Structure 1
Amino acid sequence: MFQEFKLDNLEHFSKDLEALLNRQRKEIKSITDSNAVDYADVLKPLQDLDEELSLFFTPLSHLNSVMNSEETQKAYEASLPLLSKFSSEMAQNIALFKKIEAIKADSKEAKKVLEHEVRGFILSGVNLPEDKKKRLEEISLKLSELSNQFSQNLLDATNAYELIIEDEKDVEGMPQSDIDAAKEEIDGKTVYKFTLQFPSYVAYMTYGPNREYRKELSKAYATRAPENEEVIDQILALKYEKSQLLGFSSYAQYALETRDASHEDDVITFLNELADAALPQAKNELTELKAFALKTDDIEDLAGYDVGYYSEKLKKEKFDFDDTMTKPYFEQEKVLQGLLYIVSELFGVTFEPADIPTWHTCVKPFDIFEDGKLSGRIYFDLEARKEKRGGAWMNDWETHYVDSKGETHLPSAFIVCNFSPTTQNIPSLLRHDDVVTLFHEMGHAIHHLFGKCKERSVSGINGVAWDVVEFPSQFLENFAYEAAILKRFGFHYETGEPISDELMAKIKETKNFQAALGILRQVEFSLFDFVLHQDLYQGEEVQTLLDGIREKTSLLKPPSYNKFQHGFSHIFAGGYAAGYYSYKWAEVLSADAFFSCLDNESGFNKERAKGYKEYILASGGAIEMSELYEEWLGRKADVQSLIKLYEIA
């Protein structure tokens, strides 16, 4: 029923992939040359081939991210040109395009698949002359290689740095779990090692008492992978050239062809209005923080590397709260079990541990059952390790759909995080932010796993507009602040004592602490990304653009050495180019949906949640999200819900 996760052919993976692609080429030619004119005889088998390729390649791309090694890198890099060439061939296959263009579709799903296929061909340059088609193919291949190079440079730079602290006073006041995670014995002497891997980095930036060490860590983080400057220039030049070849004025205009947002001005206006709404409160938040740092430690020149540290101290003084108070109550295993229970109750499914092969001993797989029937599978890989790239993400593998033979396929997905690892002394303990992250990624996963479409191309997260794909993830993460939810899994890892009502109230109370500064930061990233792709920026022009945007959004001037863009993997290695704004764009939907489903007693309204599952999650990309939303609630999402969510005056 499900694929078994195993990869024992790394040495000859690219040859196996080439053989599979050559076989698919023959099958596609057979379909193209046939007399078939029906959807079932053309687009159904083509979607079967898409699934087959995904099932074969996803384990390698996934392994390269979570168990990175020279072997996975070599196999992955050897595979990219093969996939790029195949993709370009298919996208520019005029005969196939003409056959698909002539097809008539009956069902709503099939019509959407057909619409997306035709649009995809056109955006891939099927109508271009041969020389321009060839150039597009070259661009696609080079972009794949550069994206991988950007990511690998960043991973290598992250792993190359270590800060060794010898004096115990320089870790005083830090959470014991972070001290224990950093503690090492070198030549019989106890030292504390901090790295640029996110759990370690954020621990010292938030709690580390030595200002000079915070500055050193911050500078190391902000200057990672300087070689990515050249990679960025190449990526931007190629994307600009690609958009010009296809008849668009810029990559941003090209990208909006497949987005929920209709016009470039809509995006820029939305972001600027959000910044304007947050700016007055953000200035007050920074003024308060500066005054606190001055009063506390006589800091007259508050710097970026001080913000996390003094923000945490201010939060503790203001609310008598910090993450150290909640971390003992969020044991990874209990949080995960609690999340599964909540999703079960909310959406009428059950999770059972699956005894199957995985890529690492800490991976936890579960089978999902709906109405007593097997309906999906999910894998959780939650702890940081040096072979895993940073961040958190959901990756889909198998997709729910009915194939050309009438057989139903079931979906599967991976959730990957980088939480503090289990040690000999303590289990993996999560900050509340980590709990929110886990809920967020689970929101993505159930969007894919609860899809009920019969057509693969629009099932689960497939075919969903990029700027609304964050809606389900943000929707679910909002529940991670509700007391009715937290008390289900918040138990002290040593004593078993339940998390107190007072502590849960503080989590909710502090949710929007410095929210306006956070919004400005997201707007900064979003404006930089979108404007960067509205024209061709090269070399110093990239930094100049970012500096110009920061004039409005960055109330604390970053140091000149800060090269944030060199680590902005979302847009240079993660598919968010000209789309980072989607986090906030989708958040209008998620905030409105959250308030519609919220129940202060149980945490959620089951009837509304049922509708959310049936309309939003089950429909995947078969219907435009704005249309689905109105079908579900009978109205459009209200942008004021986002302002309400952040409690911005």
Structure 2
Amino acid sequence: MENVLLTDSAMPEFSKVDISKAKEAVDFRLKKCLDLKEVLLQENQFTWAQFIYPLEEADDRLSKTFGLIAHLNAVQNTQELRDIYQYCVEKVSEYSTQTAQDERLLKAYQYILKNDTSLDRAQIKAIHDVIRDFKLSGVELEGQKRKEFEVIATKLSILQSQFENNVLDATMAWHYVTADQNELLGLSEDMLEQAWLRAESVGEKGYFLGLDAPTYLAVMQQADNRALRQKMYHAYVTRASSLAENPIYDNAKIMQEIIELRYKEAKLLGFNNYAELSLKSKMASSVDKVMAFLEDLLQRAKHQAQKELQALQSFANKHGLSGKLQVWDVPYYSEKMKKTLYDFTAEELRPYFPLPYVIQGLFKIIESLYGVHAQEVKEWDRYHLQTALYVFYDQKKDIRGKILVDLFARDNKRDGAWMDDCRTRYKRQDQSVQVPVAYVTCNFMPPKNNEDALLTHNDVLTLFHEFGHALHHILTKVDYLPVSGINGVEWDAVELPSQFMENFCWSREGLSLIAKHVKTGESLPTALFKKLEASRQYQSALAMLRQLEFALFDMKLHQVQPDGLDIHGTLLSIRKETSLFEVPEYNRFENSFSHIFAGGYAAGYYSYKWAEVLSSDAFSVFESSAEIINPKIGQSFLQNILEMGGSRPAAELFEAFRGQQPTVDALLKYNGIL
């Protein structure tokens, strides 16, 4: 039987995947890449067409094989799949490191840059990126230092995977079941029904509460039972730590080793710390510039955040809380106060955001802005019944790309929301084009039987955010794999298209297309829209402080010497400046901070705020026109940002669209910060 992990198909054939053949498939792809490299290096003269193109094509085939295994590992994790993925990630990491340290390859790329007169601007950018990455991967190291670097790179890939596994296992290991509905007063009917069904599915009687994001957030915002909120909070913030009820998934030693290895890696390459190494491939020019940017936002937001907290404390005391707010009280009273101020809660908006209508509205916005039409594929090879596939066509009816969505929380699925590439656009030698495909994965509350899933407004923001990433990937017109779609885009600019899309969920024009009551068909009433719009700035400074806490912790952690490093102590020192709440001593948020310990955001979490400056400034162009959903400006954003991928530096692309460098003014305005 054919191993579909080795077929070069336009879409993965999920039903035909035999996971037991995954190791041999990855080994086969790796051998093909290595053999091809040796054959090509025998030439004396190199060109893009005869050298870089075949290497990139072979790596793309490897990416399709390994990427499918990685995606399945994230969305339907089993012990067998986890073990196989671990084997594959080690092999691929070893190959990547050894390839990036091959001086013969570096010299070949340098030769092409100097001598291949057919190169266009995108190809030149791609080669410069590769040469930079060679140097950041230890190509200039010799002897023992090179061997040490290889060991570090492989070990880091293993540890980062273990970190993610521990977070998933720790999240799934904890649950609370109660048959007493009085304990759950305040929870919505939808939440109660979900909890009852989950209990039934595992053979329990009563209501099952887990630490998946939809359940946790619902309990923290809705439950009148303060003891239950505290119980859930304790379980959530001690995940993957020695203080959890089940401490076997403790990430403490893994985190320490990750930081130590990153530091050693940076020192081997001649940097003072890992933060300096990380920024070499980003827009930000220096660690000092990033720290100044974060500190400036902190100073601008802190006074307003203090006022927001004082208002919340006063409200809570007037509405039954005796004494000081605790962290498990904040989401609950914030929702209550929001209801008082704006006369709605997150749950009350759910009926206005049935998923089919939200998707339909999202596609109308995309079509109006970019002239791209989406069509759902009804019959295709799914890996789960609750997934969907959409094909996007331009005005010439040519396929621009596909997006595969997997939107609902379930067991054995990694928490959070993300976009990943499945296929990347490039032009083959026969001039045909590989159609790009993106995965969009979220963890929304699943629908009830035979009913539409109802989203919160925050869910809608998440969906638009991840589709922004996906559009960046599939709407590219770049023909070269290294800089096509999200490839080659600086990490601190990659969030621009995603955060940009969120803005349409706050505008009247956007909401008129995505909000319709599931039963009455009524559009979001004007009065309710105005309340939602006003709520955008609700506790915005407190929210900004929380993000700055994460970003400053990340940057600080990757600047300090790891000898005797106290990771938790580092976070506590940052909290003295950023947190206005008394955080319990047992809080071990860092032990599940996958973004920086497993997700690629190490010394880069600041990117969210950095890109928010870019996205806010970009959206201000749309706001300055007569209509927010402006096709003319949309085409400019498409042509200057989305279609260009990583073919030019992000700063150049932004200025080409905006006509000037970004300023922080629009970000502060949207957050209501003076």
TM-score, normalised to structure 1's length? 0.97
Equivalent position amino acid for 1:34 in 2: E
Aligned equivalents of 2:450, 2:385: Cα separation in 1 = 18
Aligned equivalents of 2:560, 2:203: Cα separation in 1 = 57
Moved more, 555-564 or 315-324: 315-324
Whether contact under 8 Å (1:458, 1:621) holds in the other structure is yes
Aligned equivalents of 1:629, 1:8: Cα separation in 2 = 41
Compute the displacement of 1:404 (Å): 3.9
Aligned equivalents of 2:417, 2:481: Cα separation in 1 = 25
1:231-630 residue pairs with structure 2 within 5 A?
231-354=254-377, 355-370=379-394, 371-424=396-449, 426-537=451-562, 541-598=566-623, 602-630=627-655
Whether contact under 8 Å (1:484, 1:601) holds in the other structure is no
Compute the displacement of 1:190 (Å): 5.9
Aligned equivalents of 2:488, 2:370: Cα separation in 1 = 23
Compute the displacement of 1:426 (Å): 4.2
Residue 30 (structure 1) aligns with: 39
Moved more, 550-559 or 595-604: 595-604
Compute the displacement of 1:599 (Å): 6.6
Whether contact under 8 Å (1:229, 1:539) holds in the other structure is no
Equivalent position amino acid for 2:279 in 1: L
Whether 1:197 and 2:212 are equivalent positions in the alignment is yes
SS in structure 2 at match of 1:484:
helix
Moved more, 604-613 or 8-17: 8-17
Whether contact under 8 Å (1:55, 1:397) holds in the other structure is yes
Aligned equivalents of 1:94, 1:425: Cα separation in 2 = 59
Compute the displacement of 1:297 (Å): 0.9
Compute the displacement of 1:539 (Å): 6.5
Give the gaps of 5 or more residues in structure 2: 1-8, 242-249
Residue 186 (structure 2) aligns with: 173
SS in structure 2 at match of 1:173:
coil
Aligned equivalents of 1:573, 1:586: Cα separation in 2 = 21
Aligned equivalents of 1:188, 1:344: Cα separation in 2 = 46
Moved more, 417-426 or 473-482: 417-426
Q: Which of 159, 167, 181 is the equivalent residue of 1:154?
A: 167
State the identity as a percent.
Answer: 37
Residue 214 (structure 1) aligns with: 229
Whether contact under 8 Å (1:398, 1:413) holds in the other structure is yes
Q: Which of 101, 124, 129 is the equivalent residue of 1:111?
A: 124
Whether contact under 8 Å (1:48, 1:404) holds in the other structure is no
Structure 1 residues 264-284: Cα deviation after superposition (integer angstroms, max 9, x where no partner): 100000000000000110000
Whether contact under 8 Å (1:598, 1:604) holds in the other structure is no
Whether contact under 8 Å (1:14, 1:78) holds in the other structure is yes
Alpha carbons of structure 1 residues 21 and 237: separation in structure 2 relative to 1, 3 Å: same
Structure 1 residues 457-497: Cα deviation after superposition (integer angstroms, max 9, x where no partner): 01110000001110110000111111211121322222323
Structure 1 residues 116-145: Cα deviation after superposition (integer angstroms, max 9, x where no partner): 111111111111112211111111111111
Aligned equivalents of 2:429, 2:52: Cα separation in 1 = 9
Compute the displacement of 1:537 (Å): 3.4
Whether contact under 8 Å (1:368, 1:376) holds in the other structure is yes
SS in structure 1 at match of 2:257:
helix
Moved more, 88-97 or 569-578: 88-97
Compute the displacement of 1:36 (Å): 3.3
Whether 1:93 and 2:102 are equivalent positions in the alignment is yes
Whether contact under 8 Å (1:376, 1:449) holds in the other structure is yes
Equivalent position amino acid for 1:4 in 2: P
Compute the displacement of 1:218 (Å): 0.2
Equivalent position amino acid for 1:175 in 2: S
Equivalent position amino acid for 1:413 in 2: A
Whether contact under 8 Å (1:384, 1:420) holds in the other structure is yes
Whether contact under 8 Å (2:32, 2:58) holds in the other structure is no
Residue 83 (structure 1) aligns with: 92
Whether contact under 8 Å (1:233, 1:538) holds in the other structure is no
Whether contact under 8 Å (1:363, 1:382) holds in the other structure is yes
Residue 142 (structure 2) aligns with: 129
Residue 2 (structure 1) aligns with: 10
Aligned equivalents of 2:367, 2:56: Cα separation in 1 = 31
Compute the displacement of 1:329 (Å): 1.1
Alpha carbons of structure 1 residues 600 and 317: separation in structure 2 relative to 1, 3 Å: farther
Alpha carbons of structure 1 residues 603 and 632: separation in structure 2 relative to 1, 3 Å: closer
Aligned equivalents of 2:539, 2:124: Cα separation in 1 = 46
Aligned equivalents of 1:579, 1:64: Cα separation in 2 = 25
Whether contact under 8 Å (1:491, 1:498) holds in the other structure is yes
Aligned equivalents of 2:204, 2:286: Cα separation in 1 = 61
Moved more, 160-169 or 17-26: 160-169
Aligned equivalents of 1:617, 1:342: Cα separation in 2 = 15
Whether contact under 8 Å (1:132, 1:245) holds in the other structure is yes
Alpha carbons of structure 1 residues 397 and 538: separation in structure 2 relative to 1, 3 Å: farther
Whether contact under 8 Å (2:342, 2:532) holds in the other structure is no
Equivalent position amino acid for 2:400 in 1: S
Equivalent position amino acid for 2:52 in 1: L
Compute the displacement of 1:301 (Å): 2.1
Aligned equivalents of 1:494, 1:34: Cα separation in 2 = 68
Aligned equivalents of 2:258, 2:382: Cα separation in 1 = 34
Whether contact under 8 Å (1:394, 1:413) holds in the other structure is yes
TM-score, normalised to structure 2's length? 0.94
Equivalent position amino acid for 1:14 in 2: K
Q: What RMSD, in angstroms, separates the aligned Cα atoms of the two structures?
A: 1.7
Compute the displacement of 1:175 (Å): 2.1
Alpha carbons of structure 1 residues 537 and 166: separation in structure 2 relative to 1, 3 Å: farther
